[in-house]
Structure 1
Amino acid sequence: MKVVKFEDLIVWQKARDLAVEVYKTFEQTRDLAFGSQIRLAAVSVSNSIAEGFDSRSKREFGRFLGIARNSCNEVKSMCYLAERLKHIELSKKNDLLFICEEVTRIIVGLSKSILQKMEVK
């Protein structure tokens, strides 16, 4: 399948799923600052992928993928903290970490693919 728009990217779809899961998980949290921060980080993953997709160059798209990966790491870090602060159960933390790691693996693969295409030219 040819990727024509960012919505076709599996990584964007999975990142969107991560954002939805984070929103559902933290919608009832009493720590408003914490809930807001983790939701912003989760949304940043899919938004950075979308924003970078129509970049002027492969290098710039790679930069946006790096931003998405950093945001995914922020979500992971906050999940560890959320579990320690008793905002979420261990099993929910593990579920969210699994999604983050899947998104990160796809981002890394896409980044490598973009770099290889840059070297070919």
Structure 2
Amino acid sequence: MSFKFEKLIIWQKAMDFGEEIQSLSDNFPKKEIYNLSSQVSRAVDSIALNISEGSILQSPAEFRKFLGYSIRSLAEVVTCLYKAKRRDYLDEEKFNKLYKDSFDLMNQMIAFRNQL
């Protein structure tokens, strides 16, 4: 027995991406705990949460709306990654890897949404 969203590749990738970002933010300075760390954690969690919530709706239009929320949350994560890079909390190599992962996930979510 499983929920429909558990079979979605975009949900699985969003879950993995979320754990990677959470691990990264755990290493930010303590002064960021209520700022950047909190913001990026909430945004990255929102990606998978909105995919799962939207998947249980009967209407494809409603699911598309929730995928839009996920896509916007992913854009927020990318902005947080830029902030972290500018503040020297992650190096160029790690930034580039996470940026590419973000870009790939964004394209997959958009393609999935366009198929609904």
TM-score using structure 2 length: 0.92
> Which structure has the bigger radius of gyration?
1
How far apart, in 2, do the equivalents of 1:39 and 1:110 lie?
Answer: 24
| 1:6 partner amino acid | F
| 1:58 partner amino acid | P
Instruction: Supply the RMSD in Å over aligned alpha carbons.
Output: 1.0
The residue that corresponds to 2:39 in the other structure is 37
Greater displacement, 25-34 / 61-70:
25-34
Unaligned runs of 5+ in 1: 115-121
Count of residue pairs the alignment pairs up: 111
The residue that corresponds to 1:81 in the other structure is 83
| 2:20 partner amino acid | E
| 2:36 partner amino acid | F
Q: CA deviation at 1:28?
A: 2.0
How far apart, in 1, do the equivalents of 2:11 and 2:103 lie?
Answer: 14
How far apart, in 2, do the equivalents of 1:110 and 1:55 lie?
Answer: 16
| 2:44 partner amino acid | A
How far apart, in 2, do the equivalents of 1:20 and 1:98 lie?
Answer: 16
Q: How does 1:6-25 map to 2 (within 5 A)?
A: 6-25=5-24
Q: Which runs of 4+ in 1 moved over 2 A?
A: none
Q: 2:68 aligns with which of 57, 66, 69?
A: 66
The residue that corresponds to 1:28 in the other structure is 27
- Deviation readout 1:14-38 (Å, 9 max, x if unpaired): 1111100001111121211211110
Greater displacement, 40-49 / 91-100:
91-100
Q: CA deviation at 1:56?
A: 2.7
